Structure 1
C-alpha cells in the first residue's frame, strides 16, 4: 500500500481536496494532508472549497487541518507539494539521511493555484482531478513494473 501525504500552505483548500479526490479515485491508498503553516490547525476545509467539491461527489467535511512535521517523512512513502514554496518548506524540515521522495503534484512542476486567493475553486478542482488521475496511473505503472 502506498502512503501519500499532500501538502499545501494552510491545509484548507488544495491539499485536503487532493486527499479527498485521490481517495475517491483510489480508495486502496493510505492518504493524508497537511499544511506547511499552522494557521488553520483543527479547522475543516474552507467552506467555498467544500461547496465546489460537493457537487462532484467529494466530501471534505470530515477533514481537519494539521501542520506538516518532520515525522511525516517517516510516516509516508511519498510527499506531494502543491507548489514550489511548499516543496521548499517541506525540504527544509527533511531529517538527515531521509530519502522519502517529495514532488510537486503537477506533472510539469507548475503550481496548483491556491483558490483561497484566486477564488477559482472549480479550476483548482479540475486540475486536482487531472493530477490525481496522473498520480494514480503512475503508481499503477510502478506497481506493475515491480511485480
Structure 2
C-alpha cells in the first residue's frame, strides 16, 4: 500500500494559484485564466480556448498547452501517491519542464515593444521539476 504522502502533488497543484505570466499592463495569466486589472475582468481558460482563440497566432496557444502538460504532471504525481508503481517520476519531471518551456513561449509571444511579459510560471515549473524530480531527470538524461 502507498504511504499516501500528498505533499508533492499538493505543492504542484498550488502552482495554479500563482500567476504564470505577469504583463506590465497589469494583466496576470494563471493556469486557470487571465485576470485583467484595468478594468477588472477575468477570462477563464475555457473561454479563451473556445471563444477568443479564433485567428490568434499559434504562439498564444502555448498557454493552454502549458496548462495541459502541467495538469498531466499533477495527475501523474497523484497516481504515484496512490500507487508508486503507477508513476514514472521522470515523466512527471519532464512534463513540468516542458510546461515551463511552453509558458516561456507564451510569454515571449505576448511581449511586444513597450509591453514586458515576465514568465514567472516557467521559473515556478522548472523549480518544481528541479526540487522534486532532479534525481529522476538526471538518470533519464545521463
Pairwise TM-score range, normalised by the shorter structure: 0.3 to 0.5
TM-score, length-scaled by structure 1: 0.33
TM-score, length-scaled by structure 2: 0.34
> Could you say which structure has the higher helix fraction?
2
Bigger Rg over Cα: 2
